[in-house]
Structure 1
Amino acid sequence: MAQKTGGNARSRVSQLGSLFSNRYGRSATEESDLEVSVVDSIQDVGKAQWNDIVERSSRGSVFHRYEWLDAIEQGLGYTPKHLEITKDGNTIGGMPNFVVGIEKTPFNRLSSLYPGFGGPLLPTDTQASLEQVLAAVPRLCRGKTIVHQIRGLDMSYLRYNDALQSQGYQPYRRECRFLLDLTKGHDGILADMSRTRRRGIERGRDVDYEIVEEEISRETLRRFYRSYERVMDRVDGEVYPFSFFEQLQSMDDRLLLLTIRIDGEYAGGMLELLDDERDSIHGFFAAVPREYFDDHASELLYDHVFQWGIDHGYETYDFGSTNTDFEDGVFRFKEGFGGRAVPVLVWERGCSPLWPLVKAGRDLYWPYYT
């Protein structure tokens, strides 16, 4: 186990004591001697060691990376309960988890992963590692933490469906994502858009505008954040604190910050995540004030990032999660760009007798729950 390099300072002895006191023993399978440990901070594993697992796993993504997990831990203050799989003292896999509040209840869920998408990373000894990870989860759900949720990034996580359901996980399908194929080129993308989106881009081009790729700095993030905060307040969305955006500076090579100016005035922007593991761009944060809607600032920004992605060799643009209501304005807006709708794969496993009651309430009023 690598020494901690930052975060909440603890002595090396207490670090090891925390980790090894949570060991669950060896796998029953004969093929390997595996151990699963609870990691109370991603910094206890170390950046190079963890990112090596991400890069070796076919399901690794920008959301699994050390920097994203550290930003959630340090910037949002969510409690980590990561699972680390070791073999002969070497880290060979893991599953990130955070304790997150269940909206409009006093209870928590253990989530892999939120914000973003997670799930297990098991590049080697997959079957035995998965057995160990799933066996360890119930011990992490104590007190007010009543359910474990896995949010897979793409359809490849279906490979775990039977194993998950055999351990009591149930599919939960209330979100989708729109994926745009950048490999068909800019003209192909425009041809497949709805008339409304295409016309918005055409009309926007008649405006005196400029789109700039910004350096990732506290100043540029603060300016973006002011617009982001206004937009999220208007739509009654969850507003992440600025501390989270500050922490994201450590992964500036995986961020694309675009600013649009109209008639020389700041008119909003987009903060994109560059998922080099998946050759994808994630549209995770957008902030265009209402007063620039008629100037089609949003359509111009999306059109720009599509071309940017093509020029830099990315294969898909991911618009991020939305609900599955075709009458919802966000759903229709994203759909209009011609992307392919895919379900967000979510599995849930109750860890408390209270979970069925909370789940029944959520299912009754599901649009208000995440």
Structure 2
Amino acid sequence: MGTDEQSNHELRVLESISEVSPDRWNAVVDQSSRGSVFHRHEWLEAVENGLGHAPRHLLVEKDGNPISLFPNFLEPVEGLDRSPLRRLVSVEPGFGGPLATTDTDTVLPAMLETVADYCTGRTVVHEIRALDTGYLRYNTLFQSHGYEPNRRRCRFLLHLSRPYEDILSRMSRSRRKGIDRGREGDAEVIEEAVTSEALERFYRTYAQVMDDLGVSAFPREFFESLLGMADRLLLVTARVDGEYAGGLLEILDDEQSSVHGYVAAVPREFFDHHVSELLYDYVVRWGIDNGYDTYDLGTTKPDYENGLFRYKEGFGGQLVPTLVWERGGNSLWDVLHRGRSLYLKHVSSES
């Protein structure tokens, strides 16, 4: 788009979120019905500084005022961290997608066309990860620009407008039993102030749990960067006989009135104390008391045989797809895309 003298639109590509002030960026987030905590300046700053991902954020101004934005990061291709290939993604960790407060028919196509210019060479695909199902209204637009929908992830939503006893009654027998047994035991769950010391203690447990699972953990620097948005974090921890027993770090998405389940860290030795069930139950009650509409239990594979899927399903939430659209940038993506499809078919046939 560049600068359009007739419409007074100017599209800028930002290589750091620091190129625009938080107030100007967040004004668009606040004015858009699809804005979320993951669109906010503070979250993008934490991803940039804490994970080292290179931003390619799009910002459209009209007569000098921000009216549209589209956060993006250059990151490794999923599952190929050591490969030189890259993807442009909006946004991970978290969710993104374009936001427009006005002139949607003009600015959205222009932003999608600009993004295409950055999917060349080693950058093989652009991926849009949307949180709000309202993004489905753009499906035809996305597909007209070469995007294909992908439904490899899903989430469970607990609707907190219901009374607590109603939510509890919808849980599976095993989840309810776990909560009851946990309450009868010696575990204590509390909300902690989000300080550097509290996050450091939580991080040590989280990193150990991830190591035991053979899964890569976020770096310590990312958690340190999250202190810049401490007012959007909920840290709930547990103790058993006074011993630290892990916790949950949740993101408060005030824009969507949702508590977003983000990082869970409960060591295996505390499973028999039903610490996990008590932590989730605490967040449910906290969300109700603080007026949130939903508790988003976080992303999982849409596979009923997957252990994490079954565990989250047991809380009785509504199953919703995570909305993802992909647009390949060159022939390398075609090869990777076909290879991924064959791999998924093989895994499915082996299950």
Once the 2 structures are TM-superposed, how far is the Cα of residue 206 of structure 1 from its aligned partner? 1.0
The one of 322, 327, 330 equivalent to 2:300 is 322
Superposed structure 1 runs of 4+ greater than 4 Å apart: none
Q: State how many pairs are aligned.
A: 344
- 1:140 alignment counterpart: 118
- 1:85 partnered with 2:63: no
Deviation by residue 1:342-364 (Cα, 9 ceiling, x = unmatched): 00110001111211001112222
Contact 1:24/1:136, CA 8 A, preserved across alignment: no
- 1:252 partnered with 2:230: yes
Secondary structure of the structure 1 residue equivalent to 2:256: coil
CA distance in 2, matches of 1:229, 1:133: 38
CA distance in 1, matches of 2:310, 2:247: 21
- 1:210 alignment counterpart: 188
Q: CA 1:49 to 1:311, structure 2 compared with 1: closer, same or farther past 3 Å?
A: same
Deviation by residue 1:14-47 (Cα, 9 ceiling, x = unmatched): xxxxxxxxx73439xx7x3322111011110111
CA-atom RMSD in angstroms: 1.6
1:38-117 map, 5 Å: 38-102=13-77, 103-104=79-80, 105-117=83-95
Deviation by residue 1:144-165 (Cα, 9 ceiling, x = unmatched): 1111000010210001000000
- 1:188 partnered with 2:163: no
CA distance in 2, matches of 1:366, 1:53: 39
Secondary structure of the structure 2 residue equivalent to 1:38: strand
Q: CA 1:367 to 1:308, structure 2 compared with 1: closer, same or farther past 3 Å?
A: farther
TM-score, normalization: structure 1? 0.90
- 1:273 alignment counterpart: 251
TM-score, normalization: structure 2? 0.95
Unaligned runs of 5+ in 2: 347-351
CA distance in 2, matches of 1:302, 1:356: 41
Contact 2:187/2:273, CA 8 A, preserved across alignment: no
Unaligned runs of 5+ in 1: 1-22
- 1:332 alignment counterpart: 310
CA distance in 1, matches of 2:254, 2:181: 33
Q: CA 1:366 to 1:64, structure 2 compared with 1: closer, same or farther past 3 Å?
A: farther
The one of 274, 295, 301 equivalent to 1:296 is 274
- 2:11 alignment counterpart: 36
Q: Which deviates the most, 121-130 or 329-338?
A: 121-130
CA distance in 2, matches of 1:253, 1:360: 43
